[in-house]
Structure 1
């Protein structure tokens, strides 16, 4: 993969205006808004004019936009490129770290590389190869089981590559793993949220890891997908713009009774509390006072006075690992493996997105409905978190769950001793992490998973159209179980996953 960092003078040549208008004749069919965006990009980074013909915008997010363009090569051949335009407010260090991830780890093993980078003042455009790809949702239920196996194998290859360099992607999901079904080509994209492990080989990730925590937290709070939020191209459901944060304080185990006192500071996650007078009044509250807002819809001054645990929580709702949802300060490459497990769960069940929660507590409750409440509570203890749940929900049999949702029955014998499947309808969980869940929130916890139950019986697949789904081996669900291990310390790694019996006859 060729990697060039270009440096051009900032002056715009007089003839470029004429070229600029000429290059836009092909965009006559584009909407006026997209045309205007393309014009603004040419104006912001005039070096692009003589190199690329921007065809269309294929995605946008809060911090960047992505365009499809062609470059005229010396051979006369036009090569398609993806141009990622980072808006001026993006932190320079983050941009540099993303580029270093692409240049060091990218270009092989299904990891996207970078070809060029253009800069004009505070505008940066990263140029990458363009991989024409299918929308995951469009092809999900037409994939054969063998295609799913190949997909996961190639995803693990990409994760093994970046984890080798000490890169935690932090936003693994289908729209960030491009897939060309016809050519069987894959690409892991978007390292805007990447974070380094303690021994990372990406020097700039070490620097971003030590940035000011408050600045990073503010960046996370408004981070959105680049391609995932709004797609303009049926083949382009890709990149997500992201961020990383510094881990600051280790978690502490607190007695359940005292934990209730800490809880209400964040119980009303959708309610805004004035930061001025309320917090000033709270600052003088003694720590041994008992709060009076437990299980109510307000936050008292005692709870407002307590320090909040701050930890990285970037990523996409539905794909965040339990240690991310519970704000565990120590997060490793295992969070990428959990996200890969959620992708695998969608592929095996035919449901995407599998989880969709409006907040972290609801997301954790939904995980419990599949992995079990006792198991989740026990796993949380291993990384220093106390989780409260008012009812016991058993873990589900993963094969039974996936076959029910997909509407298939495998001829393979199910493993003995597995927990009996529980109805997805029984998914309401009063759950708390450092706080109890508000009653009105509990009703919402069932909505998404209940929709699975409603649609499960509607999926009728004829035996002739099974495409291998009636022959799913136990190894598939064993691998899924290891990916969705609630304990990050024992969760399977990408290297181990590639050696799993599920891929026994596949070549590296």
Structure 2
């Protein structure tokens, strides 16, 4: 067993060395400017490396995070991320960019590095004051992003770095960021409704023409034209539904942190999806749970949300978005404060059982009612009434 573990470690070290070598090879200027030490992060669209300047005369070398984007990234995506870092970075706990290097299809963002703790190390034992500071920093960063009418789209613990010792915070990774639509929800709904109605009328005209050619019974033609969709909930799809255009909606984001309007594929998504993600992070802390929603797909994610809020509220939310959700049974929902207290007690008990008497004694944090009130505002199913970042910062829990 020991030899197997050693071989795995050797393979990991070799992969890390090869990765650093490939980075230097893809952009030769990096080797001239930086000492690249190791890979510190990897995502779907990029890898991040720790580096220091070669020419620095200071005894304490400043550390940098080199974000190497995969060559297949779309140019618009790269440009949008770079603009976000340049325009809003460096203030209100948002990462900035100091240099951008490019060689052919390879691009690297050079950003200041910040040491940070893992979410799993502090999610279970945050004090009330620490939670306040954490949420103030997170919502301040999100508020600044929203002031530029930008949706971050990937707010989550691993993208909000926290240095617990020095009380520093940093919102990173704008790879999925996008400009909020210039059309509000009502306008877009009207446009979609008009387009769908036009398509429906056109399909009816085509169908009438076909029926006139192949059928002599005019009553059948009239019934087909005036017919409504009755395939809903049945194992078939009617002609009217087949002729409607498919509805597309942005789905970018991390599973477990997607807002209801994203899960329901609502096309007009707003800044409020970042607020929902902030709420999920606060829910993790209040419940002492590292990953609260463990959904592998959107349907499961919607089911998990339903177990908390109840089927009636989720159906009401879907109805406001022009969607319809059917459940096999009615779920009443549960009180979110009671749930958090129960989970925190269970997690604390599990830690004692696992480590016996040598385990770390967790602080007996009794979060006030205002904390759970803010949580409910952040996790409002209706994106139109969901609290904004600015309003959240003025909430009694954070303003006191």
Shorter-chain TM range is: 0.7 to 0.9
Matches of 1:364 and 1:353, distance apart in 2: 16
Matches of 2:252 and 2:339, distance apart in 1: 28
1:129 aligns with 2:24: no
Tell me the CA shift for residue 358 of structure 1: 1.8
Pick closer, same or farther for the CA change 1:336–1:370 going to 2, 3 Å: same
2:147 counterpart (158, 164, 186): 164
Q: Deviations over 1:308-337 (max 9, x none)?
A: 221001100110000000011111110000
Matches of 2:321 and 2:45, distance apart in 1: 33
Q: Where is the helix percentage greater, Structure 1 or Structure 2?
A: 2
> 1:357 maps to which residue?
295
1:317 aligns with 2:255: yes
Question: Contact between 1:407 and 1:460, CA under 8 Å: does it hold in 2?
Answer: no
Tell me the CA shift for residue 365 of structure 1: 1.0
Tell me the CA shift for residue 498 of structure 1: 0.5
1:488 counterpart (383, 393, 396): 383
TM-score (norm 1): 0.64
> 1:473 maps to which residue?
368
> 1:193 maps to which residue?
176
More off after superposition, 343-352 vs 298-307: 298-307
Question: Contact between 1:323 and 1:488, CA under 8 Å: does it hold in 2?
Answer: yes
Pick closer, same or farther for the CA change 1:357–1:400 going to 2, 3 Å: same
> 1:41 maps to which residue?
23
Matches of 1:117 and 1:248, distance apart in 2: 40
Q: Deviations over 1:77-111 (max 9, x none)?
A: 41110001111111112111100000101101001
More off after superposition, 67-76 vs 311-320: 67-76
Match of 1:67, SS state, is strand
Tell me the CA shift for residue 290 of structure 1: 8.0
Match of 2:39, SS state, is strand
1:145 aligns with 2:145: no
Bigger Cα Rg: 2
1:384 counterpart (322, 328, 342): 322
Aligned pair count reads 352
Match of 2:38, SS state, is strand
Match of 1:137, SS state, is helix
1:502 aligns with 2:397: yes
> 2:280 maps to which residue?
342
Tell me the CA shift for residue 147 of structure 1: 1.6
CA RMSD across the alignment: 3.0
Gaps of at least 5 residues in structure 2 are 1-9, 195-224
Tell me the CA shift for residue 460 of structure 1: 5.6
Question: Contact between 1:154 and 1:186, CA under 8 Å: does it hold in 2?
Answer: yes
Match of 2:123, SS state, is helix
